[in-house]
Structure 1
Amino acid sequence: MTSAEQPETQTDTWTTVRVTLVESAEDEAGMRLDADRLEGLAALIADREGVGGVESRDPFTFVEGPDFVAVERPELVVYTTPEAREAVLGDITRIASMLAMAIAVAAEDHVGDAWRDAWKRHYRTLRFAPEGAPERPTFMTRPSWIAREPDDPEAELVLDPGRAFGTGLHESTRACLQLLVNLAAVPSWQPRRVLDLGCGSGILGLSALRLRPDLGGLQLTDHDPEAVDTSRENAALNGLGEDARVVAQVLDLLTEDADDAPGSDPRADFVFANIRPRVLIPAAARITRMVEPGGLLVLSGILDEEAERVRAAYPELEERGRLHDNDWTALLLARAGGPGGA
């Protein structure tokens, strides 16, 4: 799920668009299929201009936090602004039509600070354990309003609702974090620098620093200046705001002059790119160059049916692993020229 900018005063206005299927299944198996279809729609809506966030609700998911909303049928709630309302409604209708989905939409404007509580009900603590040792979590993410528990792992990242994608709740982010935790459990994996492309909230890069506090450097990049600002705020929230090793900057992977000065791009021996294939594929050569010889690259934000097309765009890299989470795939690739990690 994406996150969204929060109003700062009681007079702020915001808009929700509720999306449901015109014909919804009555049985549990059918409703789970409906929820999967809506999740696919949510993934395409989430990065449209004017969309601050998309919340998926279904009868089978219960989360921690105040104001949890139980529903009888799967649905989406799209968060936007009154100014962007009509454009977002048009995008939702158009994308649903492309997917041959008959939907009903209902938009409502709101005034006040209830936005914060609306997001709180969707946030929860996530604990990650290395593959093969599910009973021993080594890392966790949590919002600040949920307290730690006695047996929680020492390594954690605190993230509150912000203005950029990345809370750990979305499958693509979870898959990246799971791969990271798996690698961190291998003593021989000792990356020097980490690069987080399309960093959003900064969750992936900052988590790497939490799990490998001896990192020599962390670079957080995104094409959206707001995401870069949010990643800096989250670094500060976790006591890393004054850490000279952490650098956040705007970087557009699809700029036309990307190939003119390839040496100017950042490089690291561990690179995250949790971005949709419409960027991962055309920017493949550039992203490959950013991986140091012997380094590892995690590609995510990929639906299962898109995985082979994305993999084919990185022929110079060796596949070291593949992780699935619901309908999403993350790829672990290695560049020749060094040990490359685990």
Structure 2
Amino acid sequence: MPFLELTLPCTEVQQPRYERALESVGALAVTLADAHADAPDEQAIFEPGVGEQPLWNELVLTALFEGGTSQDLLLYALSAADEGLDWSRAAFREVEDQDWERAWMDQYEPLKFGRRTWIVPWNHDLPEGADAADAAVVRLDPGLAFGSGTHPTTALCLEWLDTLADEGALHGQRVLDFGCGSGILALAALKLGAAQAIGVDNDPQALIATADNAQRNGVDDRLLAYAPDDEPAQTYPVVVANILASALVALADTLTARVAPGGRIAMSGILAGQEDEVIERYAAGFEQLHAQRQEDWMRVTGVRRR
């Protein structure tokens, strides 16, 4: 059965209200694209950076509904959902049946971080020539997870974990992934030799995605995910926190208390220029603080003072 597709131009300011209205009336999927894309292969946003919603000033919003949905009734329901929105420019068309939740995933390819960490979409194999015997492979379903390894903040943390594994600092250890999102960093730590990982996030959807990805990777018995208020208070030899710089500064006491003496921490989600404030805030509890840059983003690492 075909689907009903609605497209609508809108501005960055209007987008959240339009998206909420569409979701409230049963949209199966909502995607965003640049209204003035010059490149023919312009792609919609599926993975915003950590803590951000990078949008263009003028957008084309696309929503997918079940086939057979009445256009008139849908417009009536949308108008009732938010009376302040203008739906007069909405356009409809029927689109052929296919696995729309998965179709866009074809753009994702296996990604390598460090010496042997691989993030591999569920429908891909390792590239030819990759050392499968030595690879630490995390299988992700980008349709269910936000944070697929493509953002520099995630990449910086994955590379750090890969280095720790080469140094033998992950083997048999417990790892805290604070702000776990999809659970990608916790999963990578387990695949690299950690014994147990704890994920913490204040977004219920993140906890669902983490649990789903843990099951997909066969480590659901070793990965537990908690809301911040439910997290057991304990210390860890390895902590990674991929959240915003402002949150890192605000949570300095909490995160410092989570790192065991002599343990290591990696913090990302830090824009270039913000690293000095983070380093200053953590200097009392950590030594060997070091900042590493990738594109416009920074990672700060340190060792807990004994």
Fold agreement, TM-score > 0.5: yes
Give the 3-state SS of the residue equivalent to 2:186 in structure 1.
Answer: helix
Quote the Cα distance in structure 1 between the aligned partners of 2:277 and 2:31: 26
Quote the Cα distance in structure 2 between the aligned partners of 1:13 and 1:114: 11
Which has the greater radius of gyration? Answer: 2
Post-superposition shift, 1:122?
A: 4.0
When the two chains are superposed, the root-mean-square deviation of aligned CA atoms in Å is: 3.8
Quote the Cα distance in structure 1 between the aligned partners of 2:218 and 2:208: 16
Quote the Cα distance in structure 1 between the aligned partners of 2:292 and 2:286: 17
* % same residue: 29
Quote the Cα distance in structure 2 between the aligned partners of 1:17 and 1:326: 31
Question: Which of 159, 182, 190 in structure 1 is aligned with 2:140?
Answer: 159
- The answer as to 2:125 corresponding to 1:125 is no
Post-superposition shift, 1:55?
A: 7.8
Q: 1:1-342, aligned counterparts within 5 Å?
A: 72=39, 77-78=44-45, 103-111=57-65, 113-118=99-104, 120-129=105-114, 137-153=115-131, 154-187=135-168, 190=171, 192-212=173-193, 215-241=194-220, 243=221, 245-251=222-228, 265-315=233-283, 316-337=285-306
Cα distance, 1:312–1:14 mapped onto 2, change above 3 Å: farther
Cα distance, 1:252–1:122 mapped onto 2, change above 3 Å: farther
Residue-by-residue CA offset, 1:273-297 (whole Å, 9 max, x unaligned)? 0001231111111111111111011
Quote the Cα distance in structure 1 between the aligned partners of 2:118 and 2:146: 18
Cα distance, 1:329–1:74 mapped onto 2, change above 3 Å: farther
- The answer as to whether partners of 1:268 and 1:290 remain within 8 angstroms in 2 is yes
Residue-by-residue CA offset, 1:82-104 (whole Å, 9 max, x unaligned)? xxxxxxxxx98xx98xxxxx932
- The answer as to whether partners of 1:10 and 1:111 remain within 8 angstroms in 2 is no
The two structures have a TM-score, normalised by structure 2, of 0.69
Quote the Cα distance in structure 2 between the aligned partners of 1:224 and 1:186: 33
The two structures have a TM-score, normalised by structure 1, of 0.63
Give the 3-state SS of the residue equivalent to 1:281 in structure 2.
Answer: helix
List gaps (5 residues or longer) in structure 1. Answer: 1-8, 21-44, 58-69, 81-90, 97-101, 130-136, 254-262, 338-342
Residue-by-residue CA offset, 1:49-90 (whole Å, 9 max, x unaligned)? 969998899xxxxxxxxxxxx95289673469xxxxxxxxxx
Cα distance, 1:146–1:322 mapped onto 2, change above 3 Å: same
Cα distance, 1:279–1:158 mapped onto 2, change above 3 Å: same
List gaps (5 residues or longer) in structure 2. Answer: 24-28, 67-98
Quote the Cα distance in structure 2 between the aligned partners of 1:16 and 1:298: 41
Cα distance, 1:331–1:252 mapped onto 2, change above 3 Å: farther
Give the 3-state SS of the residue equivalent to 1:151 in structure 2.
Answer: coil
Give the 3-state SS of the residue equivalent to 1:234 in structure 2.
Answer: helix
**Amino acid of the structure 2 residue aligned with 1:329:** M
**Amino acid of the structure 1 residue aligned with 2:103:** D
